Chain A
Amino acid sequence: MISRELCQRVLQKAVSTGADYAEIFAENTNNHNVFMIAGKVDSVKDTVVAGAAVRVYKGLRSVMATTVDTSESGLLRCAEKAADALGQGEAQIDIVLKERLFGDIHPVREVPSSVTNARKVEILKEGYFAAKEYDTAIQQVTGNLLDVDHNILIATSEGLYTQDRQIRTRIAVSAVADKGDGAQTGSCNPGRRMGLEMFDFIQPKNVGIHAAKQALTMAGAGYCPAGVMSVAIDNGFGGVIFHEACGHSLEASSVAYGRSQFAGKLGEKIANEKVTAIDDGTIANSWGSINIDDEGTPSQRNVLIEKGVLKSYMVDKFNGRRMGMPSTGNARRQSYAYTPTSRMTNTFIAPGEDKNEDIIASIEYGLYAKEMGGGSVNPVTGEFNFSVNEGYMIRNGKICEPVRGASLVGKGSEVIRNIDMVGTDLDMGQGMCGSSSGSVPTNVGQPLIRVSTITVGGR
């Protein structure tokens, strides 16, 4: 990509009006997506995203300029634009860059660009037709096989010059079933920070069957009753409850500006003592993992909440200035075109000691949320929502009939106090998290948990 020598000159230009910090982020990314519908390969798309952003800080002000022109003149113009927007002044820093390599803990055996379209189609079809042919009530199936080869270069006025390559692969199958009382959807979308060897560990067929089974279960279900009840949320993507109810409010982008329910609460007990929550971007080959964040800080394992006590926020360099805190390696951006900010990586509630059967048996009347869908939160108030993709009623400590159309709403600061049982089997689910710096891959996770009381939306 861009040479160290050129980066040095671009950064020197960027700090020419008195910035106290400058950064170049350049990328070259190939996104590839095979899509199937109605039993046929319907489209194949690939997109090259290529460009660069120059950021400068002065105190608590930041300026970013981006460009698709990564030639020498294009980059220098971009730096000049950023410097000019910062104001008038003189250079305070001399830029000397040293190349540094942070290493890669995510081995990739089959780089997506070296695998033919024909092979990708074969993998997708295995998953697709496993869903399609599972039952005659399956009316439609869609399937996607996505791979991303994301190459980034970061150079900063602190002397860092480094590169990283992030490869991800994901399969997504969605099945629609109708048994005569309305179409219902089931889905399954596993992804990993690895190449096509992902399918040595995850059988596409099982992905299709999972989606089909869920659709069929929901197609036979009645509507979830509405009201306040106890809810058991299963592991894997169930972890979206922590992600929405709490995680976003622990991001510096909310905390630094007083727009978080948890601002100023470090060291305080904010959750039930059964809750220990961690954000860990260093798990090998995990969907939300990064070697370095998008400001060049190595990713780390951050304990956010330990036995109910708030221990850490997720912090990026710029917002960290306002908070007086160092970066925790959480700066992320969808691409060079977005201003990076603090985001989650792999975020999960750590395993506890409650047995799964005890958790279910403890609920006299409530909901068992086997699989969750997406959700959203307002970090200022902590009010969140998410949908339940596959739910069952619990009566007298037993899982009973499936129910459709359920959603959970509440307030983050209340719900994490109400997580009063935590199981032992941690599992993660994959998602794309959307926020001001775009859409980034994140894992959510937890063991089976009990929320003693929460509002269940239904009818």
Chain B
Amino acid sequence: MDFQGFKKAVIAKCEALGIADYELYYQSAESTSVSAFQHSIHQFTSSIEGGVCFRCIWNGKMGYASTEALSEAEASAVVERAVDNASVLEAEEQVFLGEGGKTYQALPEETREMPATDALIAKVLETQEQIYQADAAVVDGSSTQGIAERSETAIFNSRGLDLYSQGVLTGLVVAAVVTDGKEKTNDYQIKLAPIEDIDTEELTKKAAQTALSKLGGEVAPTGQYPVVFDPEAMSDLLSAFSGIFSSEAAQKGLSKLAGQEGKVIAGENITLIDDPFWKDAPMKRNFDAEGSPVYTKKVVENGKLNTLLYNLKTAAVAGKETTGNASKAGYAASVGISPFTFYLQPGDITEEELLQAAGNGVYINSLSGLHAGADAISGDFSLQSAGFMIENGEKTTAVKSFTVAGNFYELLGSIRSIASNLEMPGMGRFGAPSVLVDGLSVAGK
């Protein structure tokens, strides 16, 4: 059974049970992944996945149930399960379904096709050879993965919403393993873009050179230093702590930003922007997970918190309008809140000037263990790091196996300078330029 047939069966069941307010959220994806090891393709995956999340308002509560099995029997079961699940809920906040008839920012029509499998394989094999050519220190263990995915999302509800969006996502993941004969080290680079547009020579060189720079690294000496986070490290920090901008976290006492709207929460040099239409965003959609129109906003402007991020429920609690930031981590998840493309506005000095300003300190280009070592509630972080020492304004010795510790709320007020080199690494959802922060604790040898 396809989604349309399933939808009809669900509507019939809702009518039979007298459920007036309901919604179907459908997501499906068709994807191909190709991986090369040594000089040939060793893994190939072609998947079709997708499912439906049904939710309905039952006695004032929102019941959820989801399924991947689109059949007549499941259409009926999913409605019954959602009602059963709603019947034990106690939360008193009013619940909402998105209303139809809203105006959405026009997006250019998605015309991209999935790349042909042969073309994807050829690109992966060619890239894999380039890794070996990037440097003599590159060894087996290096790999290239090509990914292509067509996904579609539909929201249909009893309040007149009937939205659809589709998109194609393609990219390459390059992993370089290098050795100096004594030890091995590695680096990953991800680039999401149309396959034919990816500069694979640049990508493989970057992976190999970054891996090489970690060879022979020393453990940094323990102490308090000015720290420069590169765009990737700063984006990772922003990503780990982005949850503090959620109004839901604030309303539940899980963010210190509760009650801070309109107040200064960061240095004057800090402007944080949420832009659903960021030019290079790998996927753009003009509606959020509740079907509300999305728009670009300055969440923090020159240090002042303009707004938290809202969905329909939290906006109603606060007596505000939704900011169109309803999100779902997968089709089956309940509606939460997150930014789209969230980034720190760049400054106007170069990274070299930033290093000069730092004088002596530590340059961090890699942070690990953010899921464990960053506590969004207190803002505290203590994270495995790697990078370089900064001496007299220049990057010198490679350093690794140390931690950098601080507090994100405090860090927002202690960023001394911001460079102009904005990047959106990895999946492209969070971005930052290099920043210079005073007085962070480094634990090493």
Interface residues of A (CB under 8 A from B): 28, 34, 37-38, 40-51, 53, 60-69, 81-82, 85-86, 117-118, 121, 139-140, 176, 182-185, 223-224, 226-228, 257-259, 261, 337, 339, 373-376, 378, 380-381, 383-387, 404-407, 409-411, 455-459
Q: Closest 3 A-B residue pairs measured CB to CB?
A: A457-B403, A226-B443, A459-B441
CB distance from A118 to the nearest CB of B (A): 6
Q: Is the CB of B262 closer than 8 A to any CB of chain A? A: no
Of B157-165, B180-188, B200-208, which stretch is located at the interface? B180-188
- Closest residue to A182 on the B side, CB-wise? B378
What are 14 A-B pairs with beta-carbon distances under 8 A? A41-B89, A43-B91, A64-B45, A65-B45, A66-B47, A82-B46, A257-B141, A261-B184, A378-B368, A380-B185, A381-B186, A385-B384, A387-B382, A459-B440
- Closest residue to A318 on the B side, CB-wise? B43
Contacts of B74 in A (CB 8 A): 48
User: Are B68 and A68 in contact (CB-based, < 8 A)?
Assistant: yes
User: Are B254 and A227 in contact (CB-based, < 8 A)?
Assistant: no
CA distance A184 to B256 in the complex (A): 12
Contacts of B78 in A (CB 8 A): 48
Contacts of B383 in A (CB 8 A): 385, 407, 457
Contacts of B332 in A (CB 8 A): 45, 47
A-B contact count (CB 8 A): 247
Chain B contact-residue range equals 35 or more
User: Are A37 and B141 in contact (CB-based, < 8 A)?
Assistant: no
- Knowing A226-B405, A457-B383, the reply to whether A48 touches B64 (Cβ < 8 A) is no
CA distance A307 to B88 in the complex (A): 53
Which residues of B238-292 have CB atoms within 8 Å of chain A's CB atoms?
A: 252-254, 256
User: Are A85 and B46 in contact (CB-based, < 8 A)?
Assistant: yes
Of B13-21, B79-87, B301-309, B412-420, which stretch is located at the interface? B79-87
- CB-defined interface of B62-84 with A at 8 Å, one 1/0 digit per residue? 11111111100010001001001
User: Are B382 and A457 in contact (CB-based, < 8 A)?
Assistant: yes
- CB-defined interface of B309-325 with A at 8 Å, one 1/0 digit per residue? 00000000000000000
User: Are B44 and A62 in contact (CB-based, < 8 A)?
Assistant: yes
Q: Is the CB of B112 closer than 8 A to any CB of chain A? A: no
User: Are B46 and A64 in contact (CB-based, < 8 A)?
Assistant: yes
Contacts of B41 in A (CB 8 A): 61
Q: Is the CB of B442 closer than 8 A to any CB of chain A? A: yes
User: Are A50 and B91 in contact (CB-based, < 8 A)?
Assistant: no
CA distance A82 to B62 in the complex (A): 41
Contacts of B70 in A (CB 8 A): 68
User: Are B372 and A387 in contact (CB-based, < 8 A)?
Assistant: yes
Contacts of A60 in B (CB 8 A): 42
User: Are B405 and A458 in contact (CB-based, < 8 A)?
Assistant: yes
- Knowing A63-B45, A64-B45, A455-B219, the reply to whether A383 touches B401 (Cβ < 8 A) is yes
User: Are A68 and B50 in contact (CB-based, < 8 A)?
Assistant: yes
- Closest residue to A384 on the B side, CB-wise? B384
CA distance A45 to B91 in the complex (A): 14
CA distance A261 to B141 in the complex (A): 12
CB distance from B83 to the nearest CB of A (A): 11
CB distance from A349 to the nearest CB of B (A): 20
Choose one: B48, B184, B444; the contact of A380 (CB below 8 Å).
Answer: B184
